[in-house]
Amino acid sequence: MCMIRSRAQQLNISLIDKQDKECTVKIKALADTRLRLIDDASRTVVPGPATSILGLARSVAFAWICALPHEMTAASSALDITHDKLPQSTTDHNTYLLGEVCGHKVVVTCLPAGVYGTTAAASAVSQLRSAFPAIRFGLLVGVGGGVPTRENDIRLGDIVVSIPTQTLSGVIPYDIGKATAGGGFERLGALNRPPDVTLTAVAQLRAAYLAGNGHISRIISDILCKTPYLRRTHSRPGPEKDQLFDATYEHSSFDDSTCARCDRGRLVARTPRPSDDPQVHYGLIASGNLVIKDGCTRDRLARSLGNICFEMEAAGVVNIIPTLVIRGICDYSDSHKNNTWQAYAALAAVAYAKELLSCR
């Protein structure tokens, strides 16, 4: 059949051909933008499958959320695969790292530098939700202040995991509420439970630990072995640096970040542990915008709330993305708190998160 094309049709076909060629060029460029797998042992880049990064980003269901840069550094060291950097909106000030850990696609997110507290965390996680609309679960992995009691022998470098009770979701906002008659305080603000899929994995891991089959120490050793620069910053401080003072005894000098001038006679006597293996504690985590830096306040709040850890982001996160909170204990929420244990505690929390993600 003889086809007679009008001038308009010819122009249209010509335009389509041009668009096809441009499209072909774009597809080729995309194919050339291969994902790179970073081998943990050598940190060298090796070629990976030609997959669209944007397509990968759209399919990521797990968010790994950090608040501090050294928490993100530790998190990035736990990734088995790291993908190319994502294009990002200029109005989004979060830091993102797309990767895979134990077969799970994850986006590691760090809040903007210098941003603290539940309100800032909520804003940052809302940005994360917009950038990665398929996100369904979160792990909030970082450091927190412990509440050591006779019942919970929490030490620095241990890990606390948020677990719901019959009436509470696992995270308690300690600074949202209203004053009541007689000087009382009624706490408000219902928060979401951790997602069931993470609680199932926690139960599985908890059973493994009860049977003596935990691997946190090995995971920490593996990460430090494969990542030499972390050995300088994230290694475990010596046991002499873990000092718990009587709650009523205040730090001796606020000019000195160490407790070198504090009265060792006011230390709480504790039985040395047989090993440096971090122990995992499960319970309620209190979250708010106020820094708890006083032993008596810590104990008073904990008696009221029943929590075993304080931190400053979870209450802003869990109602936006259902999240399990994992905190490495870096201080005792008292006036003696300093940064000595922060990096190691962050790494311990990362090791627990990685072990959790290895549960099937």
Point out which residues bind Zn ion (CB under 5 A): 251, 259, 262, 336
Cβ closest to Zn ion, residue 249 vs residue 282? 249
Q: Which two tokens mark 87?
A: 């294009």
Shortest distance, CB of residue 265 to Zn ion, whole angstroms? 13
Q: Which two tokens mark 353?
A: 């998160």
Q: Which residues are bridge partners to 62 per DSSP?
A: 106, 137
248 closest CA partner among 334, 330, 151, 310? 334
Shortest distance, CB of residue 332 to Zn ion, whole angstroms? 10
The residue whose two tokens read 């994360």 is: 128
Cβ closest to Zn ion, residue 156 vs residue 317? 156
SS3 label, residue 258: coil
Shortest distance, CB of residue 295 to Zn ion, whole angstroms? 11
Cβ closest to Zn ion, residue 37 vs residue 262? 262
d(CA 276, CA 137): 31
Distance of CA 158 to the CA centre of its chain: 15
SS3 label, residue 6: coil
Distance of CA 20 to the CA centre of its chain: 44
Cβ closest to Zn ion, residue 246 vs residue 276? 246
d(CA 149, CA 139): 26
Give the residue at shortest CB distance from Zn ion: 259
**71 contacts 141 by C-beta, under 8 angstroms:** yes
Shortest distance, CB of residue 58 to Zn ion, whole angstroms? 49
**237 contacts 338 by C-beta, under 8 angstroms:** no
Shortest distance, CB of residue 261 to Zn ion, whole angstroms? 8
Q: What is the CA radius of gyration of the chain?
A: 25
CA dihedral 314, 317, 318, 324 (to 10 degrees): -60
Shortest distance, CB of residue 251 to Zn ion, whole angstroms? 4
**95 contacts 72 by C-beta, under 8 angstroms:** yes
